[in-house]
Amino acid sequence: MPKFLPASLALALSLPIGAMADTTSDVRALQKEMKAMRADYEARLKALEQRVKSAEAAASVPSTATAKATAPATATPAATTTTADITATGTGTWSPPTTVAQPAPQATPANSAAPAAVASSGGGASSFNPALSLILSGGYTRTTRDPADYRITGFPLPPGAEIGPGTRNFSLGETELGFSASVDPWFRGAANISVAADNSVSIEEAFVETTALGKGFTLKGGRFFSGIGYLNPQHAHTWDFVDAPLAYQAMLGTQYGDDGVQLKWIAPIDQYLELGAELGRGRTFPGSDRDANGAGMYALYAHTGGDIGVSNSWRAGISMLNAKASDQALTSFDGAGMPFASQFTGNSRVYVLDGVWKWAPNGNATRTNFKLQGEYLRSQRDGSMVLGADGALPSPYNVTQSGWYLQGVYQFMPNWRIGLRTERLDPGTPSFGLDTGLVGTAYRAKKNSIMLDWNPSEFSRIRLQFAQDRAREGKPDNQISLQYQMSLGAHGAHSY
């Protein structure tokens, strides 16, 4: 056998052994590196856990008095918040409210201590603080007619009714201070304090409502804007125009709010369906405050809506408000335009049909969108009227009046919108049981408005509006308004 053959065999056998040695060395190095990474990860995790424990210890207050303050941490979100909520731009597609999809928290058993369970939630004392918001509004108004003489021909209204364009020149608009917070796992509360340009202060809303009734029900009690119609429940700073439509001014005193209770139910179905009922004092127009037991107002309404494809959504509703009035002071005008005092006692019933359609390409309203909105109101007043000086005999009185508005708002580029609104009123023909010598007017008030607004963000808006107002017979009024609106602090999304 040649001498080189054994040497060749020895070399061939040594190669796999060397490769195995190299592989073993690589595996050991990899294992060592993984152990180092694991040790570093565990060290980081322990440090993070320690920081969380330190934060919880700093946030907790070891006292019985503050244990209840942690209740809001376990409270569910407000029942009025829905997935259809949208920002101040007023755009977005509709989807059913989250109150349908979210299960209600289980009630605390009778034999358990609710405060103890709440205190264990881990929330700090700061969780009890309410969310604060401040709406600043103001601007400049120019009119060709004196706003002090503003009236709506054919519609008797209480003296001092907040109608018309407001004061001329520079003025401070309505400043609104809002508070809201969870009370505990079962209730939340909210209040809105309004400061008018004349420095008068009023409580617009102050109510509590349930968050855990379940089955789609929500109960509210206190002072609040009625849920009738589309525009009425919304605060003025969310409106698309400077002022409310003439129909709202003439038949609801601009915006109807009352002291009472409200029950809403949202059906647990794919189609959005909301039913509501209200019972109240009836203290504001078209009712009047009465020194009597029993409700002076009740309201019923139903709203439904849905999506059409991915770019369109809609909502429609029907409402009815019934309010009682007793010796309600009104200011009317005769055929010559001269004012005279009157007092109405009886019932007022207002029906509202509302609808809104929104379009945003592929559901994205950031760049461009369009909203078409309209409402029809019909008012029936039936009772007695005292005309002229005190001591006059009451005369049977009834009248049916109506009005409507239609508006469209188009966002043609980011942050910029333009809108048009047209509206009409029909004063009807009042019927007096006695020969009073008064006759109704055939004049139908009307108004056309155009607005342009710039929205740098969801919290700021500057709006320019021009309106030709023909609410006063024979006295057309050209109105120019420059308005700013700024939202400070915590401010929730607006409803659809």
Q: How confident is the model at residue 310 (pLDDT cuts 50, 70, 90)?
A: very high
Task: Estimate to the nearest angstrom the gap between the alpha carbon of 245 and the chain centroid.
Answer: 18
Nearest partner of 375 among 225, 240, 245, judged by Cα? 245
Provide the 8-state DSSP code for 83.
Answer: T
pLDDT in tens, 22-76: 556 676 777 787 788 888 878 887 878 787 777 776 655 444 333 333 333 333 3
Q: How many CB atoms lie within 10 A of CB 5?
A: 9
| Distance between CA atoms of residues 223 and 170, nearest Å | 31
User: Residues with Cβ < 8 Å from 224, sequence gap 6 or more?
Assistant: 205, 207, 257, 258, 262
Are 325 and 397 in contact, with CB atoms under 8 Å apart?
Answer: no
- Report helix, strand or coil for 363: helix
* pLDDT given at position 391: 60
What's the confidence (pLDDT) of residue 235? 94
> Burial letters for 208-222: b for 16+ Cβ neighbours within 10 Å, e otherwise?
ebbbbbeebebebeb
Does the global pTM surpass 0.85?
A: no
Q: Is the pLDDT of residue 261 over 50?
A: yes
Residue type at 473?
E
Please, what's the b/e burial string for 457-476 (b: 16 or more CB within 10 A of its CB; e: otherwise)?
Answer: eebbbebbbebebbbbbebe
Residue 200 has pLDDT above 80, yes or no: yes
480 Cβ neighbours under 8 A, 6+ residues apart? 141, 142, 143, 464, 465, 466
Tens-place pLDDT, residues 426-437: 999 988 876 555
- Decide which of 318 and 72 is more confident: 318
At position 6, the amino acid (one-letter code) is P
For the chain, the structural domain boundaries read 138-489
- Local confidence band at 333 (pLDDT 50, 70, 90 cut-offs): confident
If you average pLDDT over residues 66-95, what whole number do you get? 38
pLDDT band of residue 153 (cuts 50, 70, 90) is very high
Rounded to whole angstroms, the Cα distance separating 210 from 309 reads: 34
Rounded CA Rg of the chain = 33
Listed residue (371, 358, 340) closest to 453, CA to CA = 371
Bond from prior residue into 286 cis (ω within 30 degrees of 0): yes
pLDDT at 336: 66
pLDDT at 102 over 90: no
**pLDDT at residue 116, as a whole number:** 38
More confident residue, 75 or 248: 248
Predicted local confidence at residue 83, as pLDDT: 36
pLDDT at 20: 47
138-489 CATH fold: Porin (2.40.160)
Cα–Cα distance measured from residue 187 to residue 476, given in angstroms and rounded to the nearest whole number:
50
Q: Give the mean model confidence (pLDDT) for residues 373-397.
A: 87
Q: Is the pLDDT of residue 323 over 80?
A: yes
